[in-house]
Structures are given as C-alpha cells and as structure tokens.
Structure 1
C-alpha cells in the first residue's frame, strides 16, 4: 500500500473565528501553527479584501521577531495583491520592510516575505496603490 501526500489550501473561516485565532497567536506563540493556516486560508479564499489586508498587516506588525508568522504575513500580502489587484501604500511598505528584514536576517523574518514582495511587484507593477 502506497500513501500519497495531498496538499489542500485551508478554507476561509468566519471573520470572528479568524480574529479570535490570530489574536490568540499574537499573545501565545504555541498557537502560531493554527494561526498560520488561518491566515493563509483568509488570504487565499476570503472575498473581503480590506479584512484580508488588515489582518496581514496586523500579523506583520505585531508578531514578535523570529515568528514564522512575519514571513507568512508578507507572503499573504502577495496573495492579496494577486487576488485583488491592489494593496494600500501602507501594506506595500510593510511588505517591503518585511522583505528587507528577511534579507538582512532570515532568523528574524523568513524568506516567504521575499516571495510575497516578488508577487506584489509582479501583480501590481508600477501601478498606483489605492
């Protein structure tokens, strides 16, 4: 018998559940794994662009140095740019900051922040942010 690994993107969850999970992870690092799945599901599947961007920014500004959620927040900002075609100037600035931190010290912010900034540049180009 041969087992096959299957990857599935996490679903978007109700906003109150997302807020509760992400807030919990910001105060208790043992909750970061579940929060990561929640953030990815939100970035990939939630239809409320302002909610998605807000929570990527909350995580990207409030998670502690070295948290895997920092790089993930940058990556999810890239997903948001791809899906919705725009980000606020503050979100772009945060993605740039997270990517710079990742380049300077990958133990502070992991390299997913660089991937997110690449996505933002690819999908937004030089267009004005909203």
Structure 2
C-alpha cells in the first residue's frame, strides 16, 4: 500500500520563466527550508511548461541531488510521471531515475515518499512499458 502525502495542483498559470525555476530549485537544493517553494515550482513546471527537455532535466537534477528523506525526491518521481503523461516520452536517464526513486520508496518510505511509486506507475503506463 502506498502512503500518499497531500497534493494540490498549483493554479493553472503560465509557466514561470526558466531563470526563476532554476534559481528556486538550486536554492532549495542548498537550503532545505526552501523545499516548499521548490515543490510548487517543480510541479508547476511539470504541469505547465512546454519545454520537455527543461522539465525533465530539472526533475532529474532534483531527483539525484536532493537529500535523502527530502520530500522533493518523491515529488521528482511524480513529476517525471507527469512529464511522461504530457509528452509521451522520457529519456533513458529520466526513466531509470523514476524506477530507482520508486524502488527506494518501496524499500524505505522515510527515504523517498510514495509519490515516486505513483510517478513510475504513470511513466510505465503512458510510455506503454507494461
């Protein structure tokens, strides 16, 4: 059984400028007190930004660089699932990360939360990998 954290879609606004996204995510990767804003920005990008490569790159950056136990890890996995759904494609690196985050979530939900499982399920479904 997956443990789900509350999730709200951000308002459907035009995506943020890439410079703002990069600055916000980099800041949160250095300072965990900024994870809430980073989560909003990452989800907003995954749902609204039309540049798949940019979105995927930052999901991978967050998913590989966030500290163990950070809620951003599970969220990065979930956002990779959103990216797969929206664009019908993930790079091999992104798909491997989504699978790795899901495995970590299954092994230890205090390391990576269950949203990573949902994201990997979405990626497999929307990329027809079942």
TM-score (norm 2): 0.90
2:80 aligned partner: 77
For residues 64 and 126 of structure 1, the distance between their equivalents in structure 2, rounded to whole angstroms, comes to 29
2:111 aligned partner: 108
Q: Which ranges of structure 1 fall in alignment gaps of 5 or more residues? A: 1-6
2:4 aligned partner: none
Q: What is the CA-CA distance between 1:8 and the residue it aligns to?
A: 5.1
- Higher radius of gyration, 1 or 2: 1
Question: Alignment length, in residue pairs?
Answer: 121
1:93 aligned partner: 96
1:19 aligned partner: 22
For residues 66 and 89 of structure 2, the distance between their equivalents in structure 1, rounded to whole angstroms, comes to 24
Q: CA RMSD in A?
A: 1.3
Q: What is the CA-CA distance between 1:52 and the residue it aligns to?
A: 0.2
Q: Which ranges of structure 2 fall in alignment gaps of 5 or more residues? A: 1-7
Q: What is the CA-CA distance between 1:125 and the residue it aligns to?
A: 1.1
- What SS class does the counterpart of residue 47 from structure 1 fall into? coil
TM-score (norm 1): 0.90
